[in-house]
A and B are shown apart, each in its own frame.
Chain A
């Protein structure tokens, strides 16, 4: 089955530690995204990537870093510089076709808790 996988589903981190969230897709989509979700805040864009080896900051990139070395993978690192990292993190992907504006497909999410 094609889709997006995120791992782990739950992640606990001590303050001051970096942690990396995995996102893999087998949809052959070009664009990938990371969102942060907090209760009552909707989804806020952290980073996105349109092609391999290229990515752009979203609205709340401070304290986060990403890489896009392979088309199917877009890992997110939450660094110790992120002041309030406890949240639900969602990865998404989108097929890039110029003829229409395609929807984003979402993974199941990772819940990060800082202890």
Chain B
């Protein structure tokens, strides 16, 4: 079975600083990887996804993520954080085509200092 680890429960950055949120997955084959964002009391919104091809994936709101198979990682990055980026971020893995399920990490809460 697949699993996802987000090592950082809570990260605080200053507005304008760069951001990297870590995600490590466990899965025997090529995974399908996702990053979602959740504002308090809201549903989840997809930021980006990786299926195959270019390992650097661009998403919405200026986010990108890089798939590194050798490290089983899919870290989320943003060069300059805005106060509106404060939210909780979830990494998820899907176990191959035909699988209907996603496995989510426990999330990383991002706080932004003005």
Contacts and interface: CB of A to CB of B under 8 A. Distances in A.
Contact of A90 (B43, B51, B98, B107): B43
A100 B106 contact: no
Chain B interface size, under 10 / 10 to 19 / 20 to 34 / 35 or more: 20 to 34
Contacts of A96: 100
B106 A41 contact: yes
Interface string A73-115: 0000000000000001010101010101101111111010000
Contacts of A94: 100
The B interface is mostly helix, strand or loop, or mixed, namely loop
Nearest to B1: A59
B42 A109 contact: yes
Contacts of B102: 104
| Residue among A42, A98, A109 with the highest chain B CB neighbour number at 10 A | A42
Interface residues of A, number: 26
Nearest to B97: A101
Contacts, number: 51
Interface stretch (A12-20, A43-51, A61-69): A43-51
| Residue among B36, B44, B97, B106 with the highest chain A CB neighbour number at 10 A | B44
Given A101-B97, A103-B34, A43 B43 contact: no
Contacts of B32: 101
A40 interface: yes
Contacts of B46: 103, 105
B44 A48 contact: no
26 contacts: A4-B43, A31-B100, A40-B106, A42-B90, A42-B104, A43-B44, A48-B100, A88-B41, A90-B43, A90-B44, A92-B44, A94-B100, A101-B32, A101-B51, A101-B94, A101-B96, A101-B99, A103-B34, A103-B46, A103-B49, A104-B102, A106-B36, A106-B44, A107-B43, A108-B42, A109-B43
